[in-house]
Amino acid sequence: MSLLDPVLARLDVDFPAAVGRLEELLRIPSISTDPAFKAETRRAGQWVVDQLVAIGFEASLRDTPGHPMLVAHHPGPGTGAGPHLLYYGHYDVQPPDPLDLWRARPFEPQIVDGPHGKRVVARGAVDNKGQLMAIVEALRAWVAVHGTLPCQITMLIEGEEETGSPSFAGFVRANRDELLADVCIVSDTNSWTIDQPAITTMLRGIVSVEVTLHGPSHDLHSGMYGGAVLNPINALTRVLGQIHDDQGRVRFPAFYDDVREPHPDELAAWNRLGFSEQEFLAGAGLKTPTGEAGRSVLERIWSRPTCDLNGIWGGYTGAGFKTVIASHASAKFSCRLVAGQDPKKILAGIRAFFEARTPADGRWAFETSGGSPAVRVPAESAFLGAARRGLADIYGRDAVLIGCGGAVPAVGMIQQYLGMDSLLVGFGLEDDLIHSPNEKFELRCYENGMKSHAAILARIVELNTTSK
């Protein structure tokens, strides 16, 4: 009898309880970007600590300049056999606004019916609490059945992923020896469809910037001054409106210098995936792809850098009209980066772009989250092979290798500072509404996730046994 089968059976029996535990975690509003939720964010981390302790981990929250980092260790069977695995995840979530578009309260999870059966609806349902708990539940079942884990395991769960992981690099560098392992496993991406597993081998990086243009010393009457002085909102929109050229290309200096074109084999593989641009757009209520001219949607999302404005504000935004020239105006934007682009160089280009367009009497102020590079995982590693076999054990079909438009900054830093590759094995779906109102996670995906993690663990241990 395999090591895996009784674990899968245990997961089936324990599934209703596992759903209940996920709901418990979802009730904690761990909104990392909003200082008002600092204590709740920590409480979510502590809740995960308690779960890991219960299944035999030595686990604790470690303080950082931001939200605490969860580190947990399990020695495995103590035989020294098997590889050493590092799991990465995050216990923080995006803000839930706009609140009025949620059908229920974002931190009161609802189990509702959908075309794939039951789903859980709540902020963080899939990103990342559901995917994180799929790992925890796989390990819990393994321990319940076998009394221990089959190899040494370290967990590194952060509380700042949704704010660009600002404390992560410092923490990883300071605790390098404690965190080193053979490979990192991350569940923060999607499967290809609910029936088709996928491993993500390309993740875009990110640089986030807040820019403010300061002008007059105070708000002015637009009748008295209009047409004769700097209007910061006019001037800011004038500069922001120049970010893209008529071909949809970003005009920051040197932005494309280090961007490589996808390999023709890759493009061919993507074309074979049967991706429907119309279905993808319909999910957002849209019909027309935009962006860089002459490229497919998958190319744009997986292999091309972007710049999207995420927020803008200035002047009078209340009811009615106010004839004011605001003294300043601000915008937040983020650039998605692809392999080869250096966040520092991109940031320098962004500053140069704005400085070169400074209006007379204007002054720019910048804030940035730092940024993280894109990641590419080697497609030929033994661990990747084991993960593909594990997924095939559960889904009955081979996983496809895909890209992902989103960033998991920590994965880039784990590569950069620990020298470790990551296996990006995720169980979300395209329509999960992450970062949007009514975010959801299919319970079938939750189940497939925990079973796949157990299977991948079995295949990785087997790999090690075979190679010895």
Restricting to residues 342-371, name those near a copy of itself by CB under 8 A. Answer: 359-361, 369
CA–CA dist 47, 49 (Å, integer): 5
* Burial class of residue 392 in the structure, from the number of CB atoms within 10 Å of its CB (0-12 exposed, 13-18 middle, 19+ buried): middle
Residues of this chain, 246-275, that bind a copy of itself according to CB under 8 A: none
Nearer to a copy of itself, 368 or 464 (CB): 368
Contact between 219 and a copy of itself by CB under 8 A: the answer reads: yes
Determine the size of the site formed for a copy of itself (CB under 8 A).
Answer: 101
**Phi, psi for 416 (deg, rounded to 5):** -70, -45
Residues of this chain, 102-161, that bind a copy of itself according to CB under 8 A: none
Helix (H) or strand (E) holding 88: strand 84-90
Nearer to a copy of itself, 127 or 393 (CB): 127
Residues of this chain, 160-179, that bind a copy of itself according to CB under 8 A: 162-164
CA–CA dist 371, 413 (Å, integer): 10
Q: Which of 22, 72, 156, 325 binds a copy of itself (CB under 8 A)?
A: 325
End-to-end CA distance of the chain: 21
* Least distance between a copy of itself and beta carbon 38 (Å): 11
Interacting span for a copy of itself (CB under 8 A) from 137-145, 208-216, 388-396, 413-421: 208-216
Nearer to a copy of itself, 323 or 381 (CB): 323
CB atoms within 10 A of CB 17: 11
**Phi, psi for 358 (deg, rounded to 5):** -65, 125
Residues of this chain, 60-89, that bind a copy of itself according to CB under 8 A: none
* Least distance between a copy of itself and beta carbon 437 (Å): 6
Q: Which of 16, 287, 378, 396 binds a copy of itself (CB under 8 A)?
A: 287
Contact 388, 398 (CB under 8 A): yes
* Least distance between a copy of itself and beta carbon 376 (Å): 16
Looking at this protein, which amino acid is placed at residue 301? I
Contact between 240 and a copy of itself by CB under 8 A: the answer reads: yes
Interacting span for a copy of itself (CB under 8 A) from 56-64, 259-267, 282-290, 340-348: 282-290
The contacts of residue 10 (CB under 8 Å, 6+ apart) are: 141, 144, 145
Looking at this protein, which amino acid is placed at residue 281? L
Nearer to a copy of itself, 51 or 231 (CB): 231
CA–CA dist 95, 298 (Å, integer): 27
Residues of this chain, 399-458, that bind a copy of itself according to CB under 8 A: 404-407, 430, 433-437
* Least distance between a copy of itself and beta carbon 421 (Å): 21
* Least distance between a copy of itself and beta carbon 281 (Å): 7
Looking at this protein, which amino acid is placed at residue 16? P
CB atoms within 10 A of CB 153: 26
Contact between 374 and a copy of itself by CB under 8 A: the answer reads: no
Question: In this structure, what is the dihedral angle of CA atoms 87, 92, 93, 95, given to the nearest 10 degrees?
Answer: -160
